[in-house]
Structure 1
Amino acid sequence: MILAEMTMTQVEEALKTCQSVVIPFGALEEHGPHLPLSTDTIQAMEVARRAAERTPLFVAPPVHYGNCRSTAAHPGTVSISTATLKALLKDIVRSLYRQGFRTVLALTGHAGGAHRMALQDAGEELLDELPELAMAVATEYELAREAGRGLVETAGDAHAGEIETSRILHSHPQLVRGSAPEEYPTFPVGLLVRDKRRYWPGGVWGNPAKASAEKGRLLEELVVEKVVGLVRRMEEERHG
């Protein structure tokens, strides 16, 4: 159930039997010279949409902005603060809760460390605040990497490499502009640097040449299964 496409009466009727919703979080962030800035949002939204085809689940509109630190100096990246991100998730969930939603999955396609921690912190605070809420925060990329062991050839693949290029080749091939050189940046340990692009010039972390649409299809399928299982477990624990 795509929430933005429903009428108020449809939502009211559907809430009688389903109180679960996924909120896709993404980013407007560079993904090398070959993938769109919306890569993270696309992946999270595609998985959420397909999961909703398999289990009763509302899909909220995606949040297109995230906290992006390592890529902040690359062209096209637009970042929001962790404070803004936390406040946004908390406000959305509070409003959903008032509407009658009780099981909420924040599914993020952006895997930045500070971004993930902000969502997790917000989720923990919401659990303390809303007594009937079941809450989960899952990183879509980590589910893909975990589920794809044996399928992904690139060790240490992390950003705009084999996994993400495969995923977009599968779901949105018209947005892929060729490939990009293999790259594995090294940042100084413990040192905070202003010019992050100096250490990561190409914006790729992995090997896009290993990507294929078939790998992307299989990876997406595995992640959808993980998300469906997570939602069902949340529902069981809330009702149990």
Structure 2
Amino acid sequence: MENQPKLMINMTRDEVKKSLDEFPVVILPLGATEQHGHHLPLGVDIYLSEYFSKEVAKATGALVAPTLPFGYSWVWRDIPGTISLQQDLVEAVIKDVAHSVSRYGGKMLVLINGHDSNNSSMKYAVRELEDELDMPVIYLFYPRLSEIIKEVCESPTWNGMIHACEFETSLMLHVNETLVDMDKSIKEYPETPDLYGASTISLGDLSKSGVFGDSTLATKDKGKKMAEIFTDKMIKLVNEGYKEFVIRQ
């Protein structure tokens, strides 16, 4: 029987304690609730972060905390369904989770992120936690991303960004194809204004569809191939982090 991930939300306090005694690592999936074009659900970043968190947990024995379903999604704030937190609030939540896990025996926290705009919050939260806790925190967001996109995907990214494109659509086809409507997938590469990135011009102002790239080229096979690569790399990084930061201390 395939190993099942240990989901804290379904466990009792005694089961959590037993799991931490055996392998004191907790994974926090980080997602977002925001538009992903007309062919993908609002919860893409949630589904993907949960998928990889569970895969890593099955291989390592780590606990999976409930997913943070909201991130910093300011650029989509006017589109129905989007829920955006302030960036510093995302950072604060990460820190509070880390402090909580540390208090009852967690020896390492792993952040597995599915939303690009959470990356800054992760980085700065982890830096602050380094000075506040003895517990190490590692943070992951699609290891070797650029390399894997070039290797597997046929279409280029839009300014290096991934959003509702061939990449994310392929992963969603692998993770939960019932939520993907390929009949509505399109190709869109919005023009990039000179002041983009140097002003308040946002992604929501640029794209008509919410797609940045070519989602029509997405396939389930591409998603499976990329998911296997990312999962394998994440498992190795978690095991490496545990050996480096926990066992050797």
Q: Is this a same-fold pair by TM over 0.5?
A: yes
Query: Cα offset for 1:73?
Result: 3.0
* Structure 1 residues 38-53: aligned runs within 5 Å: 38-53=43-58
* Residue in structure 1 matched with residue 62 of structure 2 by the alignment: 57
* Residue in structure 2 matched with residue 149 of structure 1 by the alignment: 150
Q: Is the 8 A contact 1:183 1:205 kept in 2?
A: yes
Query: Cα offset for 1:71?
Result: 2.5
* Residue in structure 2 matched with residue 5 of structure 1 by the alignment: 10
**Partner Cα distance (1:43, 1:143) in 2:** 16
Give the letter aligned to residue 114 of structure 2. Answer: G
Structure 1 counterpart of 2:72, from 58, 67, 71: 67
1:112-152 Cα distance to aligned partner (Å, 9 max, x none): 2xx31112111111111002x11112223x55544343111
Q: How many residues align?
A: 236
Give the letter aligned to residue 43 of structure 1. Answer: L
Change (3 A) 1:164 1:95: same
Change (3 A) 1:14 1:215: same
Q: SS of the counterpart of 1:149? A: helix
Give the letter aligned to residue 40 of structure 2. Answer: L
Structure 1 counterpart of 2:141, from 139, 142, 146: 139
Q: Which one is further off, 180-189 or 193-202?
A: 193-202
1:191-223 Cα distance to aligned partner (Å, 9 max, x none): 423675331221111111110011111111111
**Partner Cα distance (2:61, 2:202) in 1:** 46
Structure 1 counterpart of 2:223, from 210, 216, 221: 216
Q: SS of the counterpart of 2:150? A: coil
- Structure 1 stretches of 5 or more lacking a match? none
Note if 1:17 corresponds to 2:19. no
Structure 1 counterpart of 2:196, from 189, 194, 201: 189
* TM-score, with length taken from structure 2: 0.89
**Partner Cα distance (1:195, 1:153) in 2:** 26
Note if 1:168 corresponds to 2:165. no
* Residue in structure 1 matched with residue 3 of structure 2 by the alignment: none
Q: SS of the counterpart of 1:16? A: helix
**Partner Cα distance (1:72, 1:227) in 2:** 31
**Partner Cα distance (1:230, 1:79) in 2:** 30
Give the letter aligned to residue 108 of structure 2. Answer: T
1:140-181 Cα distance to aligned partner (Å, 9 max, x none): 3x5554434311111115110111111111111111122322
Note if 1:95 corresponds to 2:97. no
Q: Which one is further off, 182-191 or 1-10?
A: 182-191
